């Protein structure tokens, strides 16, 4: 990592209280989360949304993995969560299912973005089945994203107001992009913050190639969950300086 950025990188931890909260919310939303897992399993046989050999237990773990993003303060306060490379809706759909329990932003929108339209079509069907509000699908290459693409209308609010600087946009993703590619591709006019589920080592390597100034927080997950599934995995929050 470039020397001038060294002091801007920190290792953080989630608490036992965070784990207990996640378990509580999972139990409260278990019916909807399991319905979503069943829908992914069904669609995966047709469209390869996740690994072909993924069973229900694997999908449930991916869902819980996605829910850890809700523990990051920037995710809680975002007006818009922009899930890039969403594939089958991970991590955006699980967050939308539990959104009422974590968000500090009234009416938070979740935008599921992927350039593969057939995957988005399947995600739309799942969102409809789950009766999720303020969740939208956007078919667009991240290299061509503009702030106005995030305008989904709120009554008589003007486009200029809706997509103005007061709208706090946080990009989320699950292993879909490398940090250096993502930060190069998405303009700071769209967002200044990224919260990704990544391998700890790969995230460090990717950030070492980022030339613009940033701050980064790493939240390792193996100790948090006490599960080998999370070995080497982390939630990584990066903000342009």
**What is the average per-residue pLDDT within 49-60?**
85
pLDDT class for 51, splitting at 50, 70, 90? confident
Query: Which of 205, 215, 32, 22 shows the shortest CA–CA distance to 130?
Result: 32
Tokens of 177: 């992009």
- Residue 113 contacts residue 82 (beta carbons within 8 Å): yes
Does residue 220 form part of some domain? no
pLDDT at residue number 165: 54
Q: Region 22-40: what's the mean pLDDT?
A: 96
| Overall average pLDDT of the 126-143 stretch | 96
Confidence check: pLDDT of 149 > 50: yes
What confidence score (pLDDT) does residue 104 get?
Answer: 85
Number of separate domains in the chain: 1
Instruction: Please report the sign of the dihedral spanned by the C-alpha atoms of residue 228, residue 229, residue 230, residue 233.
Output: positive
Domain that holds residue 73: 14-140+165-195
**DSSP H/E element including 194:** strand 193-199
Is 212 domain-assigned?
Answer: no
* 239: exposed, middle or buried (Cβ count in 10 Å: 0-12, 13-18, 19+): middle
Q: How much is the average pLDDT of 65-93? A: 97
Number of CB atoms found within 10 A of residue 55's CB: 9
Query: Is 54 inside any structural domain?
Result: yes
| Res. 3: pLDDT tops 60 | no
Which pair of structure tokens corresponds to residue 169? 């946009």
Confidence tier at 2 by pLDDT (50, 70, 90): very low
pLDDT tops 80 at residue 105: no
- Tell me the pLDDT tens digit for each residue of 150-184: 987 443 344 444 445 568 999 999 988 999 999 99
Q: Is there a contact between 25 and 33 (Cβ–Cβ < 8 Å)?
A: no
List the beta bridge partners of residue 193. 170, 239
Longest Cα separation, the chain: 50
Q: Is the pLDDT of residue 216 over 70?
A: yes
With respect to residue 53, please indicate whether it lies within any of the assigned structural domains.
Answer: yes
Within-domain flag for 52: yes
CATH number at residue 45: 3.40.50.150
Residue 207 lies in a domain: no
Q: Are 172 and 91 in contact (CB under 8 A)?
A: yes
End-to-end CA distance of the chain: 15
Residue 225 lies in a domain: no
């Amino acid at each position: 990592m470039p020397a001038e950025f060294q002091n801007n990188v920190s290792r953080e931890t989630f608490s036992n209280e965070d784990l207990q909260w996640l378990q509580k919310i999972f139990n409260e939303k278990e019916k909807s989360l399991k319905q979503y897992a069943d829908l992914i399993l069904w669609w995966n046989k047709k469209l390869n949304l996740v690994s072909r050999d993924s069973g229900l237990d694997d999908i449930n773990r991916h869902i819980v993995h996605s829910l850890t993003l809700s523990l990051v303060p920037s995710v809680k306060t975002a007006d818009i969560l922009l899930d890039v490379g969403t594939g089958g809706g991970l991590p955006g759909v699980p967050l939308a299912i539990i959104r009422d329990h974590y968000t500090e932003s009234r009416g938070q929108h979740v935008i599921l973005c992927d350039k593969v339209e057939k995957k988005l079509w399947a995600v739309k069907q799942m969102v409809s089945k789950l009766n999720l509000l303020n969740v939208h699908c956007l078919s667009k290459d991240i290299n061509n994203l503009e702030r106005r693409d995030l305008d989904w209308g709120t009554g008589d609010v003007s486009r200029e107001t809706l997509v103005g600087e007061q709208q706090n946009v946080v990009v989320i993703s699950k292993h879909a992009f490398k940090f250096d590619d993502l930060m190069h591709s998405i303009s700071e006019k769209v967002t200044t913050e990224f919260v990704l589920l990544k391998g700890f080592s790969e995230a460090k390597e990717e950030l070492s190639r980022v030339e613009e100034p940033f701050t980064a927080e790493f939240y390792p997950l193996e100790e948090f969950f006490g599960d080998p599934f999370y070995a080497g995995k982390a939630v990584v929050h990066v903000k342009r300086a």
